[in-house]
Amino acid sequence: MIHLSAPHAPLLGVNIDHVATLRNARGGAYPDPVAAAVLAVEAGADIVTFHLREDRRHIKDDDVQRLKAALHVPLNFEAAVTDEMLTIIERVRPEHVCLVPERRLEITTEGGLDVAGQLGRIRAACQRLQAAGCRVSLFIGADPAQIEASADCGAPCVELHTGAFANAWGARNIQDMHTELTRLKQGLKHARSLGLRTHAGHGLALWSEAASQPFASSTAQIAALPDVAELHIGHALIGHAVFVGLRQAVADFQAEAVRARRPA
């Protein structure tokens, strides 16, 4: 695994949802997200992430069972805070769970979970999942109130939503990039001060031709933050794999994280 050469590099969680999206676009069994997950692990992925949505638009219930049977690395089960999903998670008992907001009409997760606004409900969910042996993370924005509420819920981890930073990066809006990166740095530091393990993800990507770009990739800039223990990346990694293959795509994202953590 590439990351072993830089022990402080963040762990890489590879989200395989959009392999299932491609399969479901035509029906049938190909391409198989479980086969993709196995290949990603063989290429060095530390964690396999997936989101079982209410509408089953990509990952399906059978995929979850097959992933659990096929993999020896931790599964990171992303789910909304609903009784249906909590019951499924209690049955599957994945190693990791990330509770996320979910709206039926959204294309992708648009923001962080409002932990502060539903503290009792999320605290109860955390307790249920911890009783099932799952490590719980809450997917939130870099907002002090949400970070403090997450700690109050008893969740050991938070994953900070990097979508606004990734969008600014994609637009090459350096001012907004700086603003969002500062918010993320402060949020990570605040969460760590409360004893939370800190992760990051959403929208992170690579430049296709790094030498011609004026600044580092969004993945590198987030990976360089020393408080990021895990990166969870899906859409851009699977998109990159269309051109270079999944093994190389995993290697490329891991190498980017390693380079970002090396001393200057």
CA proximity to 57, closest of 83, 21, 30: 21
Whether residue 190 lies in the annotated active site: no
> What is residue 30's three-state secondary structure?
coil
Annotated active-site residue in 58, 96, 161, 202:
202
Cα angle: 206, vertex 208, 214; to 5 degrees: 80
Asked if 41 and 48 touch (Cβ cutoff 8 Å), the reply is yes
**Which residue, chain included where needed, has tokens 């993709």?**
36
**Which residue, chain included where needed, has tokens 């870099």?**
142
Whether residue 78 lies in the annotated active site: yes
The CA dihedral of 76, 78, 83, 88, to the nearest 10 degrees, is -40
**Which residue, chain included where needed, has tokens 């993370």?**
137
Strand intervals (E) in 141-196: 157-161
Annotated active-site residue in 3, 18, 51, 240:
51
How is residue 99 written in tokens? 């509770």
Quote the radius of gyration of the chain (alpha carbons, Å).
17
What is the H or E stretch that residue 50 is in? strand 47-51
Instruction: Point out which residues pair with 140 in neighbouring strands.
Output: 160
**Which residue, chain included where needed, has tokens 């994280």?**
257
Other beta carbons within 10 angstroms of residue 4's beta carbon come to 10
Annotated active-site residue in 3, 58, 78, 240:
78
Distance CA 223, CA 203 (A): 13
Whether residue 90 lies in the annotated active site: no
Active site positions, annotated: 51, 78, 202
